[in-house]
């Protein structure tokens, strides 16, 4: 079945450093979404990418969808303590169900 993997599993950075998480799907995706889950919280939708090679920015966050629509990345510039949490990518295959398959997640810890 479809699998979505993320690396790294865990990243610890000093406040102000940059952070990147990578997402790889075993199958081609119709779109990819990114979610953030704070410790003890629930996933919160950040963004959706649909087009091959698409790049979107939200303040310090840059999201990219690969040309083959099988991989994606999230880059955070100058991390802040408020960025702490687990970042999940989630892909939809565009099939009859169009269910969202979540990646394994990257836990980001930011030291002040």
Partner 1 sequence: DAGVTQSPTHLIKTRGQHVTLRCSPISGHKSVSWYQQVLGQGPQFIFQYYEKEERGRGNFPDRFSARQFPNYSSELNVNALLLGDSALYLCASSFSQGNYGYTFGSGTRLTVV
Site residues for partner 1 per CB under 8 A: 1, 30-31, 33, 35, 41-45, 47-48, 50, 88, 90, 92, 96-105
Nearest to 32 by CA among 6, 1, 59: 6
**Nearer residue to partner 1 within complex by CB, 14 or 42:** 42
Burial class (CB in 10 A: 0-12, 13-18, 19+), 51: exposed
**Nearer residue to partner 1 within complex by CB, 12 or 18:** 12
Q: To the nearest whole angstrom, how small is the minimum distance from the Cβ of residue 55 to partner 1?
A: 18
**Nearer residue to partner 1 within complex by CB, 17 or 109:** 109
What's the CA gap between 69 and 109, in Å, rounded? 28
């Amino acid at each position: 079945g479809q699998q979505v993997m993320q690396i790294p599993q865990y990243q610890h950075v000093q406040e102000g450093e940059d952070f990147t998480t990578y997402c790889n799907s075993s199958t081609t995706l119709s779109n990819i979404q990114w979610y953030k889950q704070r410790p003890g919280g629930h996933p919160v939708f950040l963004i959706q990418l649909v087009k091959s090679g698409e790049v979107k920015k939200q303040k310090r966050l840059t999201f990219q969808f690969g040309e083959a629509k099988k991989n994606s990345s999230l880059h955070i510039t100058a991390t802040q303590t408020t960025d702490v949490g687990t970042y999940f990518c989630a892909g939809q295959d565009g099939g009859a169900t169009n269910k969202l398959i979540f990646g394994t997640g990257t836990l980001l810890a930011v030291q002040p």
